[in-house]
Amino acid sequence: MALLPLAPLSQPLLLSHFLNPNPQSPFLHNSTTLSLYRRKLRIYPLVFAFSGGRNLTPPSSQGPFSGVSLSSKETTKLYPGLFHLAASAILFIGFAARACTAVAAPVPVVPTPISQKILEQRIEERDGGGYPSVDPNAVNTGKSDILETVEDEELKAALESWKSKTYALTVPLRIVSLRGSLPPSWIKDFMQVQGRRLKLRSEFRGSLGDIFSDLNKDFSKTSLDPRSSMAADIVTVGDSWLSLAIKKGIIEPMEDVESQDWFKGLSDKWKAYLCRNSNGELDSNGKIWGAPYRWGSIVIAYKKSKFQKHNLSPIEDWGDLWRPDLAGKISMVDSPREVVGAVLKYMGASYNTKDFDSEVPGGRNAVMQNLALLQKQVRLFDSVHYLKAFGVGDVWVAVGWSSDVLPAAKRMSNIAIVVPKSGASLWADLWAIPSASRFSTSQIGGRIRGPSPLIHQWIEFCLQVARALPFKQEVIPGASPSALEDPLIEESQEFTKGKPKLDSDLVAGVPPPEILARCEFLEPLSDAILRDYQLLIDAMQKPGYGVINFMQHYISTIAKTLGLKQQ
């Protein structure tokens, strides 16, 4: 039998309560307790008979045994052994009485609040469903069973309701980027961050011109192929292509960028460069059309072994390209802005000159004369093959973008790379959103009527500080956008310890601070000024022998390679 809870003693416990129990006594709660007390007290006469009252308190109306009188006949002399036995029995009975007198009423079960009407309704439903009949006035334990059944039914109904809903378990994101511009670790890390809900598709193109050509071609169509670049959520666009892409309408502005953390973290120089109107011109009141993820500069690479062999001084600035000892030993990218820009920097002017006569010493005629002299120095103007001519030894100097030159130089030996002291042009690779919303189809690549909601998360991820590590380790040529204002050259040198060092003044793709301050991004120019640049290039009589010699060497190199493979 389980112990009953103890009850507080509000009055003295008298022996008369046990010998002559009163059903109304606060210490006796039921018949079971009463019979228990009687069984426990059967030994009390024996105890008093053996004790002789020698060590007991005399009877008193105030004593614990008031109302109990013992005659002299009942008091006999007690042997010592029996006295100890009696004392032990008293202690045992006292503890048992204390436990039994503490019997309390059963603790009522507090049911979850529910109206009587609802409870009766649930009972009727249960009875009608074939369950045993339940009395609404049943004990609390019965109500508890009913409430548990009600809660189980409600949870089951909620589960069925949740299962009936349709959720988009995956979020698509399709990226088309320039090959070699995106660190492979970014894709892996972003997928781990987003988890299984992300459905990422990444594709690569060989050049920025290929991406622009794909976008332009798809834009002119009436229907859209889901595999095309236009159907991607986000694509790589070079900053030199940005103005034209805006004017043609093949990309759309990024909405609500002011509230995005990645935009807040950009420097004012980036924001001013990316804010443009619908004509692609710089405009402080315009919209943001792209987000940078890497940048670099134009550089000059030269073969140290050739320079040492012929006792030539190292190249340091643009003026060295006009040295007579380098005539016919130079290859250069075929870009009007870069070729004319090199002349302008040599003459102390800006890459973004809009009026040659007013902004350049000597005016337009001086520009044309220096451009003609440079034409005699350069053996090959070609944006695709200029590094191949440099690699096979046709030329000793190559002028091109750091994204091209740095990887090629690492495959060669005795190569030095410099950023001209008077400053160079800067380039940037940007994320842009294609204008696929103009197409009537409901399914566009990895998205449905609009860009993926993960676009801003992807840009935010690319601009995090941790994403700059591949640039600092020189795994990918270029630099993080944050390095434009904070190069952190000393920190970058720690990442390249123990690796073969390339002879260059670039540190993790970033020019020295004093040179970087004189570098410029190529700002968009009007159509009239661009035509003027092109006229200057067309007026140059490009040397044909350089191209012919290059092709001959190139073909002979391939023939030799094939011959070696056959042997």
Residue 144 resides in a domain: no
Residue 138 resides in a domain: no
**What's the pLDDT at 89?**
56
Residue 142 resides in a domain: no
Residue 286 resides in a domain: yes
Cα–Cα distance between 230 and 251 in angstroms, integer? 9
Which string of b and e fits 288-325 if b means at least 16 CB within 10 Å? bbbbbbbbbbbbbbbbeeebeeeebeebebbebbeeee
Find the CATH number of the domain harbouring 240. Answer: 3.40.190.10
Cα–Cα distance between 534 and 525 in angstroms, integer? 12
Give the residue, 188 or 56, on which the prediction is more confident.
Answer: 188
Average of pLDDT values for 320-332? 96
**How remote is the C-alpha of 426 from its chain's centroid?**
28
The count of other CB atoms within 10 Å of the CB of residue 550 is 21
pLDDT at 561 over 60: no
Question: What is residue 427's three-state secondary structure?
Answer: strand
Residue 81 resides in a domain: no
pLDDT, tens digit (0-9, with 9 covering 90-100), for 125-141:
544 444 444 444 444 44
- Which one, of 371, 427, 381, lies nearest residue 404 by Cα? 427
Residue 299 resides in a domain: no
To the question of pTM greater than 0.75 for the whole model, the response is no
**What's the pLDDT at 519?**
96
Average of pLDDT values for 149-157? 74
Quote the number of domains for the chain.
Answer: 1
Kindly state the helix (H) or strand (E) to which residue 298 belongs, with its residue range. Answer: strand 291-303
Residue 76 resides in a domain: no
Residue 474 resides in a domain: no
**What's the pLDDT at 470?**
92
Cα–Cα distance between 349 and 240 in angstroms, integer? 20
**What's the pLDDT at 107?**
45
pLDDT at 252 over 90: yes
| Strand partners for 251 | 434
Provide the domain limits for residue 272: 171-293+430-461
Give the residue, 82 or 377, on which the prediction is more confident.
Answer: 377
Average of pLDDT values for 248-269? 92
- Per cent of the chain over pLDDT 70 is 62
